[in-house]
Chain A
Amino acid sequence: MKKGIKLMLLTAIVFGVWSFTKAEEKGDNGYKVGDEVTDFRLENIDGRMVSMEDFNEAKGFIITFTCNTCPYAVAYEDRVEGLNKMYAKKGYPVIAIMPNNIEVKPGDNMGAMQERAKEKGFTFPYLMDEDQSVYPQFGATKTPHIYVVQKMNNGNIVKYIGAIDDNYQNADQVKNKYVEDAVNALLVGKEVDVTETKAIGCSIKV
């Protein structure tokens, strides 16, 4: 019996250390291009719960971590709406997720999200990551932070991570439309050329 307990103890420790390391890796880095995205179930501004699996017709998603209160996110609001208008009907709807702790950023609470969506006429779901569990899985660190995901036989696979385009200040002066280029490539069965980009954003408030 003593031997048995010792063995169990050892197993527990080994397993514990292993799972700790795993958790660390995931928490620090999140999804990379090529990784499968675990589905989420988050509350939309209309009170309904939304998951990726609800979109039967979708070929993929433009998942956008965004919020009301970050000037960079605000600068991109119209462009995010534009992406949904252009790509929802082609099978790549936008799903926006608000990742901030609303105690730190009251301007991002559900009421404020509803109001903002109404003002701007958002046609995409604007979900709240209420227990802040989804953004760390993705590895999102800021708003805005975009993930283009393609629905494949082996799950929803990350195809692009980063910025919407290369000019947050002026939509008219954009040279590279990273998200559009990525989705356009996927729509015609090509590989995405630029799979990762960097942009300044507001750190997600924990």
Chain B
Amino acid sequence: MKVYVLLLVILFSACKQEEVQKLDADPVVVIEKSNAKDIDLTVYNFNELEPLLNKKDGKVYVINFWATWCAPCVKELPYFETLNEEYKNINVDVVLVSLDFPKQYDTKLKPFITKHKLKSRIVVLNDVDSNTWIPKVDKDWTGAIPATIIYNNSKRTFYEKSFNLEELKLEVNKFIE
């Protein structure tokens, strides 16, 4: 009987061990005004964005949905930037799709892009009818960000999660043919 109870305890405790990724405290976003107003944002509604999610030109596309107010998004942005830098010569395109609110384009988003010297392509999605477009991005997306799509001509994977650099490269490498 003792063995039985012990086994049950072990098995149950195993179930409880979830992989929980601890995030550090919010990175502080310092607003720096210089040059920010010169930035020309590309603002799309979903119909305009959609072709970018379905290209078949032999490239690998890494599409990351983020916003300046989303702490885990901001935390993983440098990894996407690194990916963009290191993989751009091997046919990998990184696109950062910002979901910042229109009233914060000038006060937050542009200064953020300047401050962090973002090099990846940035597109701003402004489409309030999220119930229509979220399922078109991926049927399993609940709408939480960060979220990322990686796709090429033949396959596509959707991730509703945060990445570290290692994981991100590992995933992207699966798409490089």
**Partner-B contacts on A (CB < 8 A):** 5, 8-9, 11-13, 15-17, 19-20, 23, 27, 70-71, 75, 104-106, 141-142, 145, 162-163, 166-170, 173, 176, 178, 197-206
Taking residues whose C-beta sits less than 8 angstroms from the other chain, chain B's interface range is 35 or more
Q: Which of B6-14, B78-86, B88-96, B112-120 contacts A (4 or more CB under 8 A)?
A: B6-14
Q: How far is the CB of B115 from chain A (nearest CB, A)?
A: 19
Which residue of A15, A70, A166, A198 is within 8 Å of B128 (Cβ)? A166
A and B contact pairs by CB, cutoff 8 A, 17 listed: A11-B4, A12-B7, A16-B11, A17-B11, A104-B22, A163-B131, A166-B131, A170-B128, A178-B131, A197-B131, A198-B131, A199-B131, A200-B134, A203-B70, A204-B144, A206-B20, A206-B22
Give the residues in chain B near A163, CB-CB below 8 Å.
130-131, 143
- Interface set, chain B 1-55, CB cutoff 8 A to A: 1, 3-4, 7-8, 11-12, 14-16, 18, 20-23, 25-26
Known: A198-B142, A203-B72. A12 touches B134 (CB 8 A): no
Which residue of A104, A141, A145, A197 is within 8 Å of B25 (Cβ)? A104
Q: Sorted from nearest, which 4 A-B pairs have the closest CB atoms? A: A16-B11, A142-B144, A198-B134, A12-B7
- Give Cα distance in the complex from A105 to B1, angstroms: 45
Give the residues in chain A near B3, CB-CB below 8 Å.
5, 8-9
Give the residues in chain B near A162, CB-CB below 8 Å.
131
Given pairs A8-B7, A168-B128, A198-B131, 20 additional interface contacts (CB within 8 A): A8-B3, A8-B4, A11-B4, A13-B11, A19-B11, A19-B15, A23-B15, A23-B16, A75-B101, A104-B25, A105-B71, A163-B143, A170-B128, A198-B143, A199-B143, A200-B130, A200-B144, A201-B143, A203-B162, A205-B72
